[in-house]
Amino acid sequence: MERGKEPTYRVVPGPEGLLPPAATVMGVALPEEGEGLVEGRIVSETEALEQAAIAMLTRKNATLFPGPLMLWGWNEHTNQKADAFFEMAKEIPGVRIIPMPDYRPIYPKIDPEAVINPCHPNLTIWHNKIEACVFIGVHCHYANITLKMVRAGTNCYTIALCAEAGHEDAMASVPNFDIDKIDRFRDALIRVKKNGVKPLYEGKGIVPTGWAQISKLPGEALSKPEGELVQAGATPGFSHELESGLDDTAE
Amino acid sequence: MADGVNVEKGAEAAVRGDDPRAHVISEKPAPPKGEAKTGAAAQRVVDPDYLLLDAPRTKEFITGSEAAKEAIRRANVDIAIAYPITPQSETMQQVGYLYAEGYIKDYYRGEEEIGVMSAVAGASRAGVRTLTATAGPGLMRGIESIVSWPGGRLPSLLLVMCRVVNAPLAIQPDNVEISYLLNAGGIVLHGENQQDFYDYPLVGFMVGEKPEVTLPVAVAVDGFFVTHARGWVSMPAEDIKLPPRNCYHEAVPMMDNENPPIRIARDAPIQKSNFISYQMHASWQQEVWAAQERAKKWLDRWLGGLLEIVNPGAKTMIVASGAAVSQGREAVRQGTEQGLDVGLVKVKSLRPFPVDELKAALAHAEKIVVPEFNYVGWLAKEVKFVVDRAERVIDGPRVFGGMTMPTELILETITAFK
């Protein structure tokens, strides 16, 4: 990990294979304040935000994954950050919000439309055919292990908007992501659209997903659709062929 | 971290007229009228750069244990837990005095090392700055818990005063125990002398608690040579200390039962592997070692580089860590007097290992000599693994089981191999 030295390794959408390396071990350095990372290269913060904005506007089924630091209103700062987050989300037509509420394993089945879990993030991405996503408010350790797993088995473009030092394992990342920077990301979304980037989807911003969100819509039932649950460890047809692995829960 | 440089920086700041209090982050409230602040109550929290690099220093002739004590005095430690074992006991006795003087919030003796190291894990998970120390067989006993710290992303400081671990058991110097730490996943620094035993613990706390690192740090020294002997140690005034641990800005959530996500978690923060996927476990391990890599930037900043190089262009380079560095320095002096072209590379950080830096420092060398205080030659193996043309690496000289290393032994090794 050496700044100023161009690493040969590129952090790009996968599937990369069974066990991709940690990008920092391959020479990818973390950005400083005012900078960002795009595919393993240090760029200006503005460029990183614009690249992230283009990915979220133009790739299929763009989804925001807010983690515990964003979800739980445990202090005033978190509430303010959540307000800015929704303002930003509204600028991405057709975006979905699937939370990572905590890091406990969810077994043996997960509702991939309602939640993403760091033990098997690929299930949520495969099921919803997500090709661009933002991790925000996820503790760095869990974000990094998740980002590598997503790169291993999916073609999803990952963006990590990190309140700390940033993430080498994401395709785009900006460090010290506070409320001002959420606003700057919203501005970047507006700017790239104004400059000619045509969003893949039109119409309203946030699309409800999962039984919990849909149940809040007028006229919807309040039941959890058991039939929609996905077996943890199950392998959708378009995944990497080695992903299914062994049954961890077998006695 | 040469003291001359630091003193000069402080003097420059004074000449420029910089406000010396500009580094002060906070200080304790003023005492009631008529009562002067002294000791721990008088300490001010300062920026780590100031305490580690810029603050004016004065020298004292003290033992390694006393040097560690002075580091801990300035480290803003919340809790120290240990079980006595030679040659660590004296250091933790010194740390006990700090508790009595109010510099440490809590301090106790565990029942034995598995209990101590498990308690350290709990304290660190609770978000407080945690210190422990052990030596030889104590490290071996506690290692089951110690190797779990990096995966738990538990910042803490482990002082290791190396001694014999194998039968026939002895309390004498031998640093084979470091080889057991090298594959644990945490950061491992190896101090040469009393000065390092002052500087490295302070740097260790700051590096280990960086959000992108969030790892335990072990600072090892060679027992007795460093812990019980005196040396000159350059230190800033004792009325300044590091900022407290900021556990809400780390890679994992600490065990705060009032705040999410722990508040809502029924289960243990880390699950056994049969409840997580193999891929997650693999990615988790990769992340621990990636965090080590991220530590390089901060170690570089606060240790003045992961290596120190003496006579960088010499045909024969001695590569050493710990007390063997001091013997290497003297061998360089004597060898130069005898007309030998010999230099020295001091390896300060064993984990992360300075792979690229070492390759560059040794690219030109015709011979590489690796003196060590252990039988197995763990540093020679590391060096052979990373350098090109590994046949240049001469395996030794090595002493063990309490022996000292005469500088003549290093010089003979240099001249014996053509």
Of A25, A107, A232, the CB nearest to B293: A25
Token representation of residue B118: 């498990």
d(Cα A128, Cα A140) in Å, to the nearest integer? 24
A140 vs B contacts (CB less than 8 Å): 211-212, 214, 250-252
Residue B25 contacts A, CB cutoff 8 Å: no
State the total domains in chain A.
1
Look-up of token digits 């503790």: A139
Predicted pLDDT at A213:
78
pLDDT at B373 over 60: yes
Q: Which residues of B touch A22 (CB under 8 A)?
A: 286-287, 289-290, 293
Amino acid at B413: T
Residue B224 exposure: Cα atoms within 13 Å on the Cβ side: 15
Query: Of B16-20, B111-115, B136-140, B313-317, which range is least confident?
Result: B16-20
Tell which residue, A137, A134, A103, has the closest CA to residue A120: A103
Instruction: Compute φ and ψ for B58, nearest 5 degrees.
Output: -125, 160
Contact residues, chain B, for A101 at CB < 8 Å: 261, 264
Residue B284 lies in a domain: no
Half-sphere exposure of residue A32: CA atoms within 13 angstroms, side-chain side: 4
Bridging pattern class, strands B57-63 and B230-236:
antiparallel
Residue B342 is part of a domain; what is its CATH number?
3.40.50.920
In a domain, B35, yes or no: no
pLDDT at res. A233: 52
Last residue of a domain, one of B241, B266, B281: B241
CATH code where residue A164 lies: 3.40.50.1220
CB contacts of A107 in chain B (<8 Å) are: 275
Residue of B nearest to A168 (CA): B290
Cβ–Cβ gap A246/B286 under 8 Å: no
- The residue segments making up the domain with residue A172 are 37-231
Are residue B46 and residue B150 in the same domain, yes or no? yes
Helix H or strand E encompassing B119: helix B113-125
According to the model, what pLDDT value does residue B30 have? 60
- Which residues on neighbouring strands pair with residue B79, listed in sequence order? B106, B130
Subunit contact B286:A139, Cβ cutoff 8 A: no
Q: Does residue B281 sit at the A interface (CB-CB below 8 Å)?
A: no
Residues from chain A that touch B289, judged by Cβ atoms under 8 A, are 22, 25
Q: What is the token pair recorded at B185? A: 């996943």
Is B290 in Cβ contact with A144 (below 8 Å)?
yes
CATH (domain of B227)? 3.40.50.970
Choosing from B216, B241, B266, the residue where a domain stops is B241
CA–CA min distance A139, chain B (Å): 5
Give the separation between CA B124 and CA B216, rounded to whole angstroms. 9
Condensed to tens digits (0 to 9), the pLDDT of residues B68-105 reads 999 999 999 999 999 999 999 999 999 999 999 999 99
> What is chain B's alpha carbon radius of gyration, rounded to the nearest angstrom?
22
Residue where a domain stops, chosen among B211, B241, B271: B241
Residue B253 falls inside a structural domain: no
Indicate yes or no: CB of A145 within 8 angstroms of CB of B286. yes
Residues of B within 8 A of A117 (CB-CB) are none
- Which range is most confident: A65-74, A178-187, B167-176? A178-187
Name the residue of chain A whose CA is nearest to B354's CA: A1
Spell out which residues of chain A touch residue B298, defining contact as CB-CB under 8 Å. Answer: none
B234 and B324, same domain (yes or no): no
CB A124, CB A117: distance < 8 Å: yes
Question: Residue A40's pLDDT is what?
Answer: 97
Average pLDDT over residues A81-101: 94
Q: For chain B, give the mean pLDDT.
A: 90
DSSP 8-state assignment for residue B189: E
| Percent of chain B whose predicted confidence (pLDDT) is above 90 | 80
> Is the preceding peptide bond at B312 cis, omega within 30 degrees of 0?
no
Question: Does residue B301 lie in a domain region?
Answer: no
ipTM for the whole complex: 0.89
Same domain, residue pair B50 and B159: yes
Q: Is residue B269 part of a domain?
A: no
Residue A170 lies in a domain: yes
Report the gap between the CA of A60 and the closest CA in chain B (Å): 26
Say what the pLDDT of residue B22 is: 59
- Has residue B268 been placed in a domain? no
Structure letter (DSSP) for residue B219: E
Chain A interface, mutation test: which of B279, B284, B306, most A Cβ atoms within 10 Å? B279
pLDDT at B5 > cutoff 50: no
Strand A35-38 and strand A172-174: the pairing is antiparallel
- The pTM for the full model equals 0.90
Q: Which residue range forms the structural domain that includes residue B388?
A: 307-416
Residue B208 sits in the same domain as residue B327: no
CB contact under 8 A, B249 and A164: yes
Residue B374 predicted with pLDDT over 60:
yes
The CA distance from B252 to the nearest CA of chain A, in Å, is 5
Mean pLDDT of B306-331: 97
Predicted pLDDT of residue A215:
72
A89/B212 Cα distance (integer angstroms): 27
Mutation target to probe the A interface, by most A beta carbons within 10 A, among B262, B276, B306, B356 is B276
Q: Are B231 and B345 members of one domain?
A: no
Do the Cβ atoms of B277 and A246 come within 8 Å? no
DSSP string, chain A: --TTS--S-----S---SSPPPGGGGTPPPP-TTEEEETTEEEEHHHHHHHHHHHHHHSTT-EEEE-HHHHS--SHHHHHHHHHHHHHHTTSTTBEE------S---SEE-TTT---TTSHHHHHHHHT--EEEEES--HHHHHHHHHHHHHH---EEEEE-SSS--TTSSEEESS--HHHHHHHHHHHHHHHHTTPPPSS-S-SBPP-HHHHHTTSTT------GGG-EETT---TTS-TT-S---TT--
Determine the Cα–Cα distance for residues A20 and A168; give it in Å rounded to an integer: 13
pLDDT at residue number B301 = 97
Q: DSSP label at B340?
A: -
What confidence tens digit (pLDDT) does each residue in A7-61 have?
A: 899 999 999 998 999 999 999 999 999 999 999 999 999 999 999 999 999 999 9
Residue A66 half-sphere exposure, CB side, CA atoms within 13 Å?
20
Total tally of structural domains belonging to chain B: 2
Amino acid at B59: K
The closest alpha carbon to B349, from B187, B189, B222, B160, belongs to B189
In which order are the strands placed within the sheet that holds A132-136?
A: A41-44, A35-38, A172-174, A157-161, A132-136, A63-66, A96-97
Question: Environment class of residue A109 by beta-carbon count within 10 Å: exposed (0-12), middle (13-18) or buried (19+)?
Answer: middle
Residues B221 and B349 in one domain: no
Q: Nearest CA to CA, how far is B213 from chain A (Å)? A: 9
pLDDT-based confidence at B10, cuts 50/70/90? very low
Q: Rounded CA gap, B383 and B372, in Å? A: 12
Distance from CA of A24 to the nearest CA of B (A): 6
Looking at the fold, whether B231 and B353 belong to one and the same domain comes out as no
pLDDT at residue B11, rounded to an integer:
39
Q: Report yes or no: A104 and A115 within 8 Å, Cβ to Cβ.
A: no
The pLDDT tens digits for B241-282 are 999 999 989 999 888 766 666 655 545 555 555 566 788 889
